[in-house]
Amino acid sequence: MTIEEEIAKGFGEGFDCSTAVFSRLAREVGFTEEEGKKLSACFGIGMMQGTICGAVSGAFIAIGAKYGNVKPGDMTQKGLCMSKRQEFIEAFEREFGSLTCPGLLNLDLRKEEDMKKAQEEGLLTSVCPKYCKRAIEITKSIL
């Protein structure tokens, strides 16, 4: 089974794009896969608001876990984290043209009719896993 097939299977089991990405990156940044699923659980489908793609959010969680600043006033570490985030943004946008669910799918998943259309066309199991796979690959190259 390919990673895209595994991700699509996970979608059918109740997981989403943020979970698909961060749970696969969790060990690289000090978490278990189970912790990765829990930490990223609220970020799928653009935080259920149809905004920033959950695959992007999952990547941001991993980048923050590795590079985030923890000391007050540590602007050097904060700058490093923000530059790694920007590196991800530029790579993902260069490839896909957007960071948002509406921009990637040409649908607003907050609208019932658009969500239905996405499901009928199989976008959530055919297109979204590709975004997740690339988010994982790009993030791994940054970490």
Predicted TM-score of the model (pTM): 0.93
Look over the chain and give the mean of its residue pLDDT values, rounded to a whole number: 94
Cβ within 8 Å of residue 81, ≥6 positions away: 63, 64, 67, 68, 69
34 burial level (CB within 10 Å; 0-12, 13-18, 19+): exposed
Q: Where does the pLDDT of residue 4 fall: very low under 50, low under 70, confident under 90, or very high at 90 and above?
A: very high
**What pLDDT is attached to residue 132?**
97
Provide the 10 A C-beta neighbour count for residue 89: 15
Q: What percentage of the chain carries pLDDT values higher than 90?
A: 83
Token pair listed for 22: 């961060």
Whether the CA torsion 128, 130, 134, 136 is positive or negative: it is positive
- Rounded to whole angstroms, the Cα distance separating 132 from 130 reads 5
Under a CB-based contact definition with an 8 Å cutoff, are residues 61 and 43 in contact?
yes
